[in-house]
Amino acid sequence: MVSSEAAPLAKTGGLADVVGILPGRLRELGNQVAVVIPRYGFVELKSAQRVYDHLFVHLGGVRYDTSIYRADTPYPLYIVNCPPLFARPGLYGESGVDYADNHVRFALFARAAIGIARFLFRTDIFHCHDWQSGLVPAYLRTVFASDPTFFGVKTVFTIHNLGYQGLFPLSALKEIGLAPDAAQPNGMEFFGRVSYIKGGISFADALNTVSPTYAREIQTAEYGFGLDGALSARSRALTGILNGADYSIWDPETDPLIPARYSASDLAGKRACKQALLEEFSLPPEAIGRPLLGIVSRLTPQKGMDLFPDIVAEIVAADAYLVALGSGDPEYEEMFQNLAVSQPGRIAVRIGFDDRLAHLVEAGADIFLMPSRYEPCGLNQMYSLRYGTVPVVRATGGLDDTIDESTGFKFKDYSGPAFANAVRSALEAFSGVDEWREMMRRGMQKEFSWNASAAEYSQLYERVLGG
């Protein structure tokens, strides 16, 4: 697996969680797995073993000297160490500005991953994740096409979020050692630029994304970010495999971060969690008997943040309450802070991220809100189900795949009124105590574990190797 992130060493989002847990589950199924990530400035090497001293990478007439470390993990986790390119505070940039040489950084990373497969871990399949590894299939199909080391080696390319594409000027091709003909419409060219994610789309043997619905959506103009044509052309190679939830961390029966444990057969502890959540956000004691809505999210347009002002009237009319935890775009942080000021004692907001508090929101809220504009997979709706916190979601991507009318509430149109109608339905249903508890229990019994997802990936690898 070639990935720019892997939990717990380097993480900005769900990609790291996938690469952090999937290899171990694949090993349990009998696969031999190794992972390759860059060594960023904050990644410690104290417990890692240096396994290759000088792996030279030549790009555009420049020679880079890299060394390879192996982390102390049950499977080989190789760390590409190239301080001139990666010994920086950020993964992709700082203060919201991308590093200007990202095209070179992740070209070197791709070439180093290929070198690791040559010298340290002979592989049948390169499983590449998102644009940062999109050059691996491109290099294998061009620069290394006649290299006998890689005869028969296949590539799988996973799209975690098509909104991030790795776009660079055409002049980048010379710097990364690719011929100009790589920038053909059926190659990496994208509206006069070079797209690293399109390198994966065009050159990989198999494509997949992180939910079946998202695999269909990205072949449409609405969700394709300009790549819908390229994806539709390869529709027979494209599948969707739903991400899994890590129930060793997210389970109210064993969660050490919540004040009381509970289960589908004994929900008493959930009330104690709700009480603690109300106290944490300084909401009034009488809120304990009313619906409490929760949000844990990046505050960005993708997550549907612009729709929230439309539900304030529903919350007030139903004598309900809202707690929000997250950070993101300054305009949405300010918007939520203004909502809290306009509705004191009813809407409470915490800007930032706190893992303990994220668990408390999942355990203590009655209803969880995810009105995403698009959502490749989503994990919080899976966590919410397990915690008996009924989700209200937009019917898109993995949200549509994991929530149905027996476990939550969905709306299709991306609009404030549609979101408000779904919230109103949930608030009305909350008053039916017995029916509501049954909905909670049905959700808690749903199973979206990584075991099923790993089995699907293992089957995908078999199909790819079989041609």
Mean pLDDT by 10 residues, the chain (467 residues): 95 90 96 98 94 96 96 95 96 93 98 98 98 98 96 97 96 94 92 97 98 98 97 97 95 98 97 98 97 96 96 97 95 97 97 94 98 96 98 98 98 98 98 97 96 96 94
pLDDT at 12: 87
Q: What class, spelled out in words, does domain 268-447 have in CATH? A: alpha beta
Alpha helices in 93-207 (DSSP H): 102-119, 135-141, 172-175, 196-203
Residue 96: the pLDDT is: 83
pLDDT value for 76: 96
Cβ-proximal residues to 172 (8 Å cutoff; 6+ apart), any chain: 103, 104, 194
What's residue 273's pLDDT?
98
Q: Where are the domains of the chain?
A: 14-244+451-465, 268-447
pLDDT given at position 321: 98
H or E segment and range at residue 67: strand 62-70
Angle formed by the axes of helices 416-430 and 433-444, nearest 10°? 110
Helix (H) or strand (E) holding 440: helix 433-444
Under a CB-based contact definition with an 8 Å cutoff, are residues 89 and 12 in contact?
no
Q: From CA 113, how far away is CA 39, in angstroms rounded?
A: 13
Query: Residue 95's pLDDT is what?
Result: 86
Do 372 and 304 meet the contact criterion of CB atoms below 8 Å apart?
yes
Q: Do domains 14-244+451-465 and 268-447 have the same CATH topology?
A: yes
Closest by CA position to 105, among listed 142, 57, 68, 137: 57
Question: What is the pTM assigned to this prediction?
Answer: 0.93
- Return the CATH number of 14-244+451-465, one of 2.60.40.420, 3.40.50.2000, 3.10.129.10, 3.20.20.70: 3.40.50.2000
Does residue 397 contact residue 332 with C-beta atoms inside 8 Å?
no
In three-state secondary structure terms, 2 is: strand
Taken in order 79, 81, 86, 87, is the CA torsion positive or negative?
positive
> Rounded distance, CA 306 to CA 326, Å?
14
pLDDT of 149 reads 96
Residue 247, beta-bridge partner list: none
Q: At what angle do helices 14-28 and 450-465 cross, to 10 degrees?
A: 70
